[in-house]
Structure 1
């Protein structure tokens, strides 16, 4: 080998070694030592109570509890464009849960998405938002979870194709998209607004559902709160692109988040129903703070949006007359409630104010028509029967098209027949894979009871 060849070979070797070392530094994380599971009574009761409220704000139980299963024991399938990921067991069970995790290991998982063993966690666990959670709040969450009832529930194997089934690839994703800057209060805003910003951008992780994602599954920061997709539902835009016929106000948001219903905006359904179920148990000051912040995000509505629902009612009657089939189905199945003027729970909302009907995506309306709205036990909440059995796909499609034409001033949807088929298929899969209703008592402290 000539001298120049040896020099080139040496340079290549150095570059390769440096690349391997850099890749190792990016991917490798040390394991934390195991601990003996701490006794529940060693945690301060006030800290546990604070952690209970924070866990409810973070909606932890709904992602980490499979329907019909034990609370926080994991196993819930989370569909993604790359395959299915199953949530983990976060009860203090020592072998299959987090019972042997130290507080430092828990905080690293929250901040960096790395488990106790040093493995990178998939970002379906929204640690890209949890980087904004304070040390004090992480400590309270840890205290709450470590005082839950231990449940032995081994992790289910994720169903991901190569290379997404290789956890080292997540390190590259983090390098591109994970930011460790914690939330900083805005001195120009009120304490209430800042509290809401801290919760929304952090533990509540609202943008995880309400922000569209790029091809690699990261939130598109340039389109924050512009609407997203989750569990065959469309999470509506919460910014100035909202299609709500009646603009949101802080008071309307507070009522909706607290009670799951507002007469100008309808009923929380799908994943949002789980969110408001949890928020119903937390301090009202936190819910109000979230509402105040999100009202600021949505901004001042354009003048032409005010009263849009009433305009749609007047303009849509003529446009809907061409759909005789949809009109007859509406008259038989819907009008008696939605045009009765009766109060809850037997009167339906003014459909001219329905975001589901004015939205550019008909999925939510298809889900509601097929599944209905179940009553909330102990509350004077809206109810609506589901029509999955009594309506075939053709009838449901005709009804959706009629509702769009009659109660909105938006252009007709396309592909509604396929949307109905997909909604029915998703409902069937959900029922087949769900052995029973998910436990959801009002007090999250009781969520770990059989």
Structure 2
């Protein structure tokens, strides 16, 4: 054999071997179908427990299109790589998980692999769900298999090649998926460990509150340092928290339970959905989450304590007269905002004190822009905060002027930059999100109807 022939033979062998290795890594066997189990075959207490766990995991908000059937999927999840649509997890035998045995459900939770062996995109946070116990997986399975079956075929994902090939996800898992259940810390209390198990597992708080690397995986070294979700910022919930007043376990518990705390404001955006679900969760679980997260945040330093005391003192002072350069923003504020936000009444009868609001002191103005544009709609049957959205009545220029004034008046932080571009993008993104999240067969929804995206 000639030298060139030998080289080509070696390259061919390496190519075949590499392809075989890649296939061995990526291939997962299908798990045999079952006949859909009857709802009454599941223990009622197990189903009840599964309902609580589904609320902790926020399953309904990720797997339900706005105005659609519960758990029928189709909700768009925007990523830097394209849009992935959530799947139908009702017990429909054709388009849902009705023919999945419990073993297939557990594999999806632990390894991100569907019953048919296909790799699931990590927008389904199995990198957290791998920490969920067998007992809790069983309860979740029982709950989902007793829901109303909905025939809802999967919406095609909008991803470019090669990311539209699910086998690629096998490589991502090799790099970033760490399988294994949560191990308790014997040096901590039972409450702390319960909170850690929920936060690091089913509640998957880090999926939103941790920044991601170029390949879309959480940066473990920057856990809870803040992230991006649907054009909202999930604030840092570690020592880098921008909250004007330092968080405590008691404040976290009240905020997670009620969606509001007088020293921290109101839960909005995706966090409002989390709080809504936690309202149906046993108080002990919510308190455990608060205790664990308070430990992650850590005790405030003396400087942070002084900053918090100063913020509380400043928040009680009346609004001073604005300099001429800020007169435009002050006029808009007094006409549109001050009546509620300086009333001294707590929500829902008054607005929060903006001097204590993280949306004003945060380095990122997106959340404040989103709230001003879309407002806060009331929750049916609950005493909840409400605020009109100003997207229909204010121009982008007016909103920029208002945001600039709020930053100057209610914080000591540096001025935001590129506000005009950000407001334009926030208005555009809001419109696109409302259109895509309504589902393929839903009537159009505008920002004024919907309130908060």
Please give the TM-score of this superposition, normalised by the length of structure 1.
Answer: 0.93
Tell me if 1:93 matches 2:92. Answer: yes
Tell me if 1:167 matches 2:166. Answer: yes
Within 2, Cα distance between the matches of 1:316 and 1:10? 80
Stretch moving more, 356-365 or 294-303: 294-303
Instruction: Indicate which of 291, 309, 312 corresponds to 1:310.
Output: 312
Tell me if 1:377 matches 2:380. Answer: yes
1:80-119 correspondence to structure 2 within 5 Å: 80-119=79-118
1:137-156 correspondence to structure 2 within 5 Å: 137-156=136-155
Tell me if 1:404 matches 2:407. Answer: yes
Change (3 A) 1:408 1:315: farther
Aligned-residue RMSD, C-alpha: 2.0
- Helix, strand or coil for the counterpart of 1:234? strand
Q: For residue 261 of structure 1, report the CA deviation from its aligned partner.
A: 0.8
Change (3 A) 1:270 1:285: same
Matched-pair contact (CA < 8 Å) for 2:346–2:352: no
- Helix, strand or coil for the counterpart of 1:323? helix
Tell me if 1:123 matches 2:125. Answer: no
Higher relative contact order (CA 8 A, sep 6+): 1
Tell me the equivalent position of 1:272.
271
Within 2, Cα distance between the matches of 1:436 and 1:148? 25
Please give the TM-score of this superposition, normalised by the length of structure 2.
Answer: 0.92
Matched-pair contact (CA < 8 Å) for 2:77–2:86: yes
Stretch moving more, 376-385 or 246-255: 376-385
- Helix, strand or coil for the counterpart of 2:325? coil
Change (3 A) 1:321 1:73: same
Matched-pair contact (CA < 8 Å) for 1:316–1:405: no
Could you give the per-residue CA deviations for residues 326-363 of structure 1, whole angstroms, max 9, x where no partner exists?
01111111111111112332211111100000000000
Matched-pair contact (CA < 8 Å) for 1:59–1:275: yes
- Helix, strand or coil for the counterpart of 2:94? coil
Matched-pair contact (CA < 8 Å) for 1:319–1:405: no
1:37-116 correspondence to structure 2 within 5 Å: 37-116=36-115
- Helix, strand or coil for the counterpart of 2:335? helix
Aligned residues: 437
Flag structure 1 segments of 5+ consecutive residues without an equivalent: 439-450
Tell me the equivalent position of 1:428.
431
Q: For residue 379 of structure 1, report the CA deviation from its aligned partner.
A: 2.3
Change (3 A) 1:170 1:227: same
Matched-pair contact (CA < 8 Å) for 2:211–2:226: yes
Stretch moving more, 214-223 or 10-19: 10-19
Within 2, Cα distance between the matches of 1:311 and 1:359? 19
Within 2, Cα distance between the matches of 1:81 and 1:419? 18
Q: For residue 14 of structure 1, report the CA deviation from its aligned partner.
A: 4.5
Within 2, Cα distance between the matches of 1:43 and 1:35? 15
Tell me if 1:356 matches 2:366. Answer: no
Within 2, Cα distance between the matches of 1:207 and 1:81? 18
Matched-pair contact (CA < 8 Å) for 2:256–2:275: yes
1:169-318 correspondence to structure 2 within 5 Å: 169-305=168-304, 306-310=308-312, 313=315
Tell me the equivalent position of 1:447.
none
Flag structure 2 segments of 5+ consecutive residues without an equivalent: 446-453
Change (3 A) 1:9 1:98: same
Q: For residue 307 of structure 1, report the CA deviation from its aligned partner.
A: 1.8
Change (3 A) 1:429 1:11: closer
Within 1, Cα distance between the matches of 2:329 and 2:88? 47
Q: For residue 380 of structure 1, report the CA deviation from its aligned partner.
A: 2.2
Matched-pair contact (CA < 8 Å) for 2:34–2:100: yes
Matched-pair contact (CA < 8 Å) for 1:68–1:437: no
Tell me the equivalent position of 1:448.
none
